[in-house]
Amino acid sequence: MGFEKFLFYVFAAITLVAAGMVITRRNPVHAVLYLVLAFISSAALWILLEAEFLGIVLILVYVGAVMVLFLFVVMMLDVDIATLRAGFIRYLPIGALIAVVLALEIFLIVGPANFGLQQFPSPLPAGPDVSNTEELGLLLYTIYVYPFEIAAVILLVAIVAAIRLTLRRRPETKYMDPAKQVRVKKGPDRIRIVKMPSESAAVPAVAASAAPQESTE
């Protein structure tokens, strides 16, 4: 138990420090990388709780995919710190007030009154034969099947909405269609082979008409 507790404190400390860095770093790329570190150490915390499926999926989905896209966007930003910090003092009181109210609200709901050890005692450690994945699957597809399906539908709606918002045709930009391009065949689409009768040797063969023609597609 001692070693496990030690690991818990190590990963919890890393999570807290990394989360603090996320909001204090000036450089957005550094902030995102600290967020990645926070995700990884929280995954480690979940694995300590014997929720290895959730821990690995957190790394797979958030670190492996979502944060890569985040980085992708953030790297192309040119953040001007000076304009960001303009009016910092002016908005500080109202900002601090909102932060305090939010923190208080979170504490009231997530605090020990509702989620303390009395309400949620630490579960008995499961044996080595219990498969996390199977247990989770059984729960998801029986008791929690409606929330699961509704979450899926909400995600689908979000996908459709995001695509609809960004999908616009701009007639002034020229673009190509790779799907059409890969269908191009050598025969009729790209080259025109011209049959010519052989000419006498005195005249040098000039096959100007047989030059390869690029497809207009």
Q: Which residues bind another protein (CB under 8 A)?
A: 29, 33, 36, 52-53, 56-57, 59-60, 63-65, 68-69, 71-72, 75-76, 131-133, 176, 178-179, 181-182
Structural element, H or E, at residue 206 = none
Nearer to another protein, 30 or 191 (CB): 30
Smallest separation, CB 154 to another protein (Å): 20
Smallest separation, CB 19 to another protein (Å): 19
Smallest separation, CB 132 to another protein (Å): 6
Nearer to another protein, 22 or 29 (CB): 29
Distance of CA 6 to the CA centre of its chain: 31
Nearer to another protein, 75 or 86 (CB): 75
CA nearest to 58, candidates 74, 71, 39: 39
Distance of CA 124 to the CA centre of its chain: 34
Distances, alpha carbon 54 to alpha carbons 33, 68, 210, in Å? 21, 19, 63
CA 31/CA 27 separation, integer angstroms: 6
Smallest separation, CB 202 to another protein (Å): 39
Extract the tokens encoding 11: 């990963």
Nearer to another protein, 23 or 182 (CB): 182
